[in-house]
C-alpha cells in the first residue's frame, strides 16, 4: 500500500473515524485512501476554517481528535483562526497538510511556503514526514500527541511523495499519556485555603466544568462556603437543571476584578489564573487583587475531577448535596432584543441540547438565563478568534447526531465562516442556527467608547455598522441549501424556533434585533 | 497626537490613501485616526481575506500599497492566503496588525499568539513597533519597504500602547529604492541568444507584461523571430486589440515542457525560470529541457521595460511593428459551457475592462479567446491560493473607479471569500461578477485521474462534487446586497451580461455550466 493508505489505516486503528476535508492536488492520494480504508468518514467543508472549527467542536464533545485534510500553507492558513480557538480549548485535533513532493520544494513553485512557521503558533506538535515508510508511524505519533493531556493541536506535514510512495503497512497506535493525579500537598493547600474562614472561590475550567467535577465542586462549596466561578470562555460547560450552578467570570476586566476582589483565596481547578481579555491603559493584566492568594489545585492537563473529589473528601464534604433547581424563564413577548432572544432560547431549548454560543454581545443575557434550562452543554469562544460558532456546531452535530445543536450566532462573527451552512445541508446536520442580527459589530462600538472615542467619526461608524447593506441571512442560508426564516418579534421568533426544534435540521432563523 | 494618528498622518504623507479594514478592539485608536486624518479612505471587509486580496488587486492596478487593518494573530491569519498570492504577485501591501499592549503580552490572554511566525512566510518585511514614538517612522519604513522593487508585503505589528500613547508627530516619508537598470552584459547575452539563429523565446513576467514592455518585446520578436511567452499566472497582463499577443505557458507541466522543449534559448524578462505548479512522480520540477539555455535579461525587481528597450535597440529592432489585429470572437449560442461562457465574455467585454480571472478550469478557454477583445487588463491567481478573484476585483474597482471590472470566478474558489460581495455592495463598486458554476472542484477531478485514480470511490467523488446541495449564487448575492441573475444558456448569459455591463455595478451572474 502507499503511504496515504498506511496513514489512514493507522488513524482508523487509533480510533479516529472522521476527516474534515478541504483537499487539493497534493492530497489526492489521501483522498483516495479515505475510500480504500473502511471506517473513516470524510466530510467536506467549502472553506478550511469550517474544517478546523468543526474538528474543535467535535473534540469538545467526544474528547477524541478528528483529522483535518488541508492543502499546503495557504489552505492551512485559512484554518488557523479556528485552530487558535482549538488550542485555547485544549482540543485534540490532527491536521494533515499535503505539501509538495519533497524534491519539488526547491523549485519554489507558486504554492510553496514555510508551513512550519505557519503551523507552530497554533500547534503543540509539528512534524514534516520524511518518507513514506515513516508516514504511518508519524500519523500514530500525531494522533497520540493530540491527545496528550490536556489535548492539543498536532500538525503533520505530508510531502506528496510520502503519500504516493510505498510503505510497509499501518503502524500500531501510539500510547496516549494518561492524566496525572494531583499530589496530596496541592489538595492540602486548597483545603487550607477554602477552610480558612476567609472568603474563597474555586475557579473552574477545562474538565472541571463537566458534570462529575461540578458535582464534586458543589460538595466542596457546601462544606466550605466557597464560591464557584468559571473561566469566561469555557470550551464546554455542562449546565442547566440538575447540575450545580457556577458563576461565569464577567468579560470586562473591571467587572472581573470587582468580582474577584473580595476573595482571600482563589483555587484553580482546570483553569489558569484569570487575566484581562485585552489590556487597557487603566487596568492591569491580572484580574486577581494583590490581597488574593492563588492556589493551584489542578492544571488543565491533570486529573481535575479526581483532584476535586479528593478535595471534597479532605474538606469532609457531604456525599451529596441538594441542588436548588433554578426556575426556568418563561418565553418572552414583544420586541426582539438581545435580552428577549436569550430568554426565548433559554425558555425553549430542549433537554440535552448542545448550545454553541458565539452570540457575542447579544449572548450575554442568554448565558445567565439558561442556568434554569434543562441540562445541556454550552460551548464558547475560547480563543477570541471569531467565526468559531458555526463550524463548531458542525463538529458537535457530527459528534452527537442524537442531540439537537443550537448555534447561537452573532451576525458579524457568523460571516467569517458562513460556508459552514453548506456542510450542515450536505450532511443533514441537526443544527438550528439562530442568527442574532443586531447588524453591527456592537462590541467594537462599545470598545470605541471604552477607548474614549465618545463621538466616532463617519469612518469609525461605518467600520462598526452592518446596515448598509443589511445582511439577509435567509437568502444566505438558501444559497447554501439551508431552509431559513426571519423573525422580528419575540412571538415570531418563538414560533419559528419551536418549528425548527420540532423538525430535523438544519434550519436557520435570522432574529432581527431592535 | 497619539501614535495611531502619527502613523496614519505618515501614511497619507507617503501617498497611501486606502485602508482595507477588519478591525477589532486592539485597533480602536487606529480606527479613530482614520477619521482624524483627512485623506485616508477606510473600506470594511467582513472577512480579512477580502481585505488582503483587495490590497493585492489595488496594488496590481496602481503600483501603490494600500493599508490593511487586521486584528491580532488570528485576524491576520485569515488574510494569509491572499497575502501569499500578493507575495507571488510582488504586490506592495502594508499590513497593520493591532496587537495586545506590550505589557499585556506576558499575560498570554486568549487572543495572544506568535504573530511574527504567522507573518514571516508571506512578508518580505516584518517589524514589531517598540513604542509610540517610533510608530510613525515604523509606518514610513513599512510603506517604503512594501515598494522596494519588485514590491512585497510589509507587516507592521502595533502593540496597542504604541497606538494610544503620545508620539511627536508624523514621520517623513521614507525613500523608496528605484528599480536598477540592467547592465550591458545581460543585454549582450540576451541579444546573442536570440540572434543565434537557433529557436529562442522571451519569457515575460511582472512589469514585462505591461504595454510599454510588450511593445519592446514585439519589436525584439520582429527582429529576431523569437517567440513571446508569458508566465502561466501573471499578476497583471495588458492584452487585447492593439497590444502584442503573447502566448501563455500552459498549466500542466507536460504541456509546458512540450512548449519549451524546441527552444535553444529562453531569455527571462521579469519572470523566473518556469517550474511545474505541482510535482508529479513522472515529471521533474523544471520545465526547461536540458538542451535549452537560460539567459537572465531582467529580474522582476529590475528595470524590465528599460532592459527590453535596450535589447530591442541592440538587436536593431524596427522602431515600430505592425501588430496584427486578432479577430474578435462572435457571441456564442446554445449550451452554456466553459468554452461558450469564455467566448461570450471575450465577445462582449468592453474596452478598458479589468478582468480578474479566477475561472480555474472554466477559465482556460476564455484566456485564449480574449486575445481579440478590446484592450484590457487581466489579473490572475499568482500564488494558487484560491479565493483571490472576488477580493482582487474589489481592490481593482477601488483602484480604477472609471473602469468596468469583470470578476470571472469559479464557483468552488469563489466560496472561500464570498464576503467580498458585501463590500462590492457597500461601496457600490462597478464589478460584474460572473460565476462559472460547474458545481464541482473540477481541477481535482482531473487531478484524481492524473494520480491514477481512474474510478474514484464515493468519498472521493463527494469531496470533489458541489451538487449536493447546489450552491445558489443568486441567493448568496442577494444576501449581501448584490443584485444577481442566473443564466443557463449562452443566450441567457449574453443578455444578462449585456445588461450588467450597461448598468453601474455591482451585479452577479451565475452561469450554470453543462
Chain B, window 335-354: residues with a beta carbon less than 8 angstroms from a chain A beta carbon: none
Q: What share of chain B is helix, strand, coil (3-state, %, to 5)?
A: 45, 20, 35
Q: What was the pLDDT predicted at B325?
A: 76
A190 contacts: CB under 8 Å, gap ≥ 6? A267, A295, A297, A311
Q: Does A467 touch chain B (CB under 8 A)?
A: no
Interface contact flag, B426 A469, Cβ < 8 Å: yes
C-alpha cell belonging to residue B219: 519589436
Q: Which residues in chain B touch residue A164, judged by CB atoms under 8 angstroms apart?
A: 281, 451
Pick from B28, B120, B161: CB nearest A447 = B28
Interface contact flag, B471 A31, Cβ < 8 Å: no
| Neighbouring C-alpha atoms within 13 Å toward the C-beta of A307 | 32
Q: Which residues in chain B touch residue A31, judged by CB atoms under 8 angstroms apart?
A: 444, 448, 453, 456, 459-460, 463-464
Predicted confidence (pLDDT) at residue A102 exceeds the cutoff of 90: yes
Pick from A110, A285, A412: CB nearest B277 = A110
Strand order across the beta sheet in which B507-512 lies: B237-239, B376-380, B354-358, B405-410, B431-437, B507-512, B484-487
Interface contact flag, A276 B109, Cβ < 8 Å: yes
Q: Does B501 touch chain A (CB under 8 A)?
A: no
Pick from A32, A456, A475: CB nearest B479 = A475
Q: What was the pLDDT predicted at B155?
A: 99
Q: Rounded to whole angstroms, what are the CA distances from A13 to A94, A448, B283, B379?
A: 15, 52, 34, 47
Interface contact flag, A460 B35, Cβ < 8 Å: yes
Q: Does B162 touch chain A (CB under 8 A)?
A: no
Pick from B84, B471, B475: CB nearest A113 = B84
Q: Which residues in chain B touch residue A276, judged by CB atoms under 8 angstroms apart?
A: 104, 107, 109
Nearest to A204 by CA among A195, A196, A216: A216
Q: Does A445 touch chain B (CB under 8 A)?
A: no
8 Å CB contact between A415 and B421? no
Q: Which residues in chain B touch residue A360, judged by CB atoms under 8 angstroms apart?
A: none
Nearest to A392 by CA among A370, A347, A423: A423
Pick from B29, B443, B475: CB nearest A475 = B475
Interface contact flag, A120 B114, Cβ < 8 Å: yes
Predicted confidence (pLDDT) at residue A325 exceeds the cutoff of 80: no
Nearest-CA distance from A345 to chain B in Å? 25
Q: Beta-carbon neighbour count of residue B36 at 10 Å?
A: 18
Question: What span, in angstroms and rounded, lies between the C-alpha atoms of B200 and B207?
Answer: 21
* Per-residue confidence in pLDDT tens, chain B, 514 aa: 999 999 999 999 999 999 999 999 999 999 999 999 999 999 999 999 999 999 999 999 999 999 999 999 999 999 999 999 999 999 999 999 999 999 999 999 999 999 999 999 999 999 999 999 999 999 999 999 999 999 999 999 999 999 999 999 999 999 999 999 999 999 999 999 999 999 999 999 999 999 999 999 999 999 999 999 999 999 999 999 999 999 999 999 999 999 999 999 999 999 999 999 999 998 999 999 999 999 999 999 999 999 999 999 999 999 999 888 789 999 999 999 999 999 999 999 999 999 999 999 998 899 999 999 999 999 999 999 999 999 999 999 999 999 999 999 999 999 999 999 999 999 999 999 999 999 999 999 999 999 999 899 999 999 999 999 999 999 999 999 999 999 999 999 999 999 999 999 899 999 999 9
Pick from A84, A85, A444: CB nearest B25 = A444
Mark residue B152 as left, alpha or beta (left: phi above 0; alpha: psi -120 to 50; beta: remaining).
beta
Cell 483627512, located at residue: B38
Q: Does B283 touch chain A (CB under 8 A)?
A: no
Q: Which residues in chain A touch residue B278, judged by CB atoms under 8 angstroms apart?
A: 25-26, 100-101, 104, 109, 111, 160
Question: What span, in angstroms and rounded, lies between the C-alpha atoms of B302 and B292?
Answer: 24
Nearest to A390 by CA among A82, A95, A21: A82
Q: Which residues in chain B touch residue A418, judged by CB atoms under 8 angstroms apart?
A: 418-419
Pick from A74, A425, A470: CB nearest B84 = A74
Q: Does A12 touch chain B (CB under 8 A)?
A: no
Could you report how far apart the first and last alpha carbons of chain B are, in Å? 60
A197 contacts: CB under 8 Å, gap ≥ 6? none
Q: Does B455 touch chain A (CB under 8 A)?
A: no
Mean pLDDT computed over A308-330: 94
Pick from B23, B164, B447: CB nearest A281 = B164
Nearest-CA distance from B31 to chain A in Å? 6
How many residue contacts between A and B have a Cβ separation below 8 Å? 324
Q: Does A451 touch chain B (CB under 8 A)?
A: yes
Mean pLDDT computed over A179-195: 98
Q: Does A333 touch chain B (CB under 8 A)?
A: no
Interface contact flag, B460 A35, Cβ < 8 Å: yes
Per residue in A238-248, pLDDT (tens digit) is 999 999 999 99
C-alpha cell belonging to residue B153: 508585503
Chain B, window 86-105: residues with a beta carbon less than 8 angstroms from a chain A beta carbon: 88, 100-101, 103-104
Chain A, window 191-210: residues with a beta carbon less than 8 angstroms from a chain B beta carbon: none
Per residue in A473-496, pLDDT (tens digit) is 999 999 999 999 999 999 999 999
Nearest to A120 by CA among A159, A162, A152: A152
Q: Does B169 touch chain A (CB under 8 A)?
A: no
Residue A173 pLDDT grade (very low, low, confident, very high; cuts 50, 70, 90) = very high
Residue A326 pLDDT grade (very low, low, confident, very high; cuts 50, 70, 90) = confident
Q: Does B120 touch chain A (CB under 8 A)?
A: yes
Instruction: List the alpha helices (DSSP H) in A27-180.
Output: 28-36, 48-62, 72-77, 80-89, 115-119, 135-146, 160-164
Nearest-CA distance from B37 to chain A in Å? 11
Interface contact flag, A113 B444, Cβ < 8 Å: no
A59 contacts: CB under 8 Å, gap ≥ 6? A65, A66, A86, A89, A91, A92, A93, A151, A395
Q: Does B439 touch chain A (CB under 8 A)?
A: no
Q: Which residues in chain B touch residue A118, judged by CB atoms under 8 angstroms apart?
A: 80, 117-118, 121
8 Å CB contact between A71 and A26? yes
Interface contact flag, A110 B88, Cβ < 8 Å: yes
Q: What is the mean pLDDT of chain A?
A: 97
Q: What was the pLDDT predicted at A139?
A: 98
Q: In chain B, which residue's Cα lies nearest the Cα of A89?
A: B110
Sign (positive or negative) of CA dihedral B92, B96, B97, B99? positive
Chain A, window 408-427: residues with a beta carbon less than 8 angstroms from a chain B beta carbon: 412, 415-416, 418-419, 422, 425-426
Amino acid at each position: 500500500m502507499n503511504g496515504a493508505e498506511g496513514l489512514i489505516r493507522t488513524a482508523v486503528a487509533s480510533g479516529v473515524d472522521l476527516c474534515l476535508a478541504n483537499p487539493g492536488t497534493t492530497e489526492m492520494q489521501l483522498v483516495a485512501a479515505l475510500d480504500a480504508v473502511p471506517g473513516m468518514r470524510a466530510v467536506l467543508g467549502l472553506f478550511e476554517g469550517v474544517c478546523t472549527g468543526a474538528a474543535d467542536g467535535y473534540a469538545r464533545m467526544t474528547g477524541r481528535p478528528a483529522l483535518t485534510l488541508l492543502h499546503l500553507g495557504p489552505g492551512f492558513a485559512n484554518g488557523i483562526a479556528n485552530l487558535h480557538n482549538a488550542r485555547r480549548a485544549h482540543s485534540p485535533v490532527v491536521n494533515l497538510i499535503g505539501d509538495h513532493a519533497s524534491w519539488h520544494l526547491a523549485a519554489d513553485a507558486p504554492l510553496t511556503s514555510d508551513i512550519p512557521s505557519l503551523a507552530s503558533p497554533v500547534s503543540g506538535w509539528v512534524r514534516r514526514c520524511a518518507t513514506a515508510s515513516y508516514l504511518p508511524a508519524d500519523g500514530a505519533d500525531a494522533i497520540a500527541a493530540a491527545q496528550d493531556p490536556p489535548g492539543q493541536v498536532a500538525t503533520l506535514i505530508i510531502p506528496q511523495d510520502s503519500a504516493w510512495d510505498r510503505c510497509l503497512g499501518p503502524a500500531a497506535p501510539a500510547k496516549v499519556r494518561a492524566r496525572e493525579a494531583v499530589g496530596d500537598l496541592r489538595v492540602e493547600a486548597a483545603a487550607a485555603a477554602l477552610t480558612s474562614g476567609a472568603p474563597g472561590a474555586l475557579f473552574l475550567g477545562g474538565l472541571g466544568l463537566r458534570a462529575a467535577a461540578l458535582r464534586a465542586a458543589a460538595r466542596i462549596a457546601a462544606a466550605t462556603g466557597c464560591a464557584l466561578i468559571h473561566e469566561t470562555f469555557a470550551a464546554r460547560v455542562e449546565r442547566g437543571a440538575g447540575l450545580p450552578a457556577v458563576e461565569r467570570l464577567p468579560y470586562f476586566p473591571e467587572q472581573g476584578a470587582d468580582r474577584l476582589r473580595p476573595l482571600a483565596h482563589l483555587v484553580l481547578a482546570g483553569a489558569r489564573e484569570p487575566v484581562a481579555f485585552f489590556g487597557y491603559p487603566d487596568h492591569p493584566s491580572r484580574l486577581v487583587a494583590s490581597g488574593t492568594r492563588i492556589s493551584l489545585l489542578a492544571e488543565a492537563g491533570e486529573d481535575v475531577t479526581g483532584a476535586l473529589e479528593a478535595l471534597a473528601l479532605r474538606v469532609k464534604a457531604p456525599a451529596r448535596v441538594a441542588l436548588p433547581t433554578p426556575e426556568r424563564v418563561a418565553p418572552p413577548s414583544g420586541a426582539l432584543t438581545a435580552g428577549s432572544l436569550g430568554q426565548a432560547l433559554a425558555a425553549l431549548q430542549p433537554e440535552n441540547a448542545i448550545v454553541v454560543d458565539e452570540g457575542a454581545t447579544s449572548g450575554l443575557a442568554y448565558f445567565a438565563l439558561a442556568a434554569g434550562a434543562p441540562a445541556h452543554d454550552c460551548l464558547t469562544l475560547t480563543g477570541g478568534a471569531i467565526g468559531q460558532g458555526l463550524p463548531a456546531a458542525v463538529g458537535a452535530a457530527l459528534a452527537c447526531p442524537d442531540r439537537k445543536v443550537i448555534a447561537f450566532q452573532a451576525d458579524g462573527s457568523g460571516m467569517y465562516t458562513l460556508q459552514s451552512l453548506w456542510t450542515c445541508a450536505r450532511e443533514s446536520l441537526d443544527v438550528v442556527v439562530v442568527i442574532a442580527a443586531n447588524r453591527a459589530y456592537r462590541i467594537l462600538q462599545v470598545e470605541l467608547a471604552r477607548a474614549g472615542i465618545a463621538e466616532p467619526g463617519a469612518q469609525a461608524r461605518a467600520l462598526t455598522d452592518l446596515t448598509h447593506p443589511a445582511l439577509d441571512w435567509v437568502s444566505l442560508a438558501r444559497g447554501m441549501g439551508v431552509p431559513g426564516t426571519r423573525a422580528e418579534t419575540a412571538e415570531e421568533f418563538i414560533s419559528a424556533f419551536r418549528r425548527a426544534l420540532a423538525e430535523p435540521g438544519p434550519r436557520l432563523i435570522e432574529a432581527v434585533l431592535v
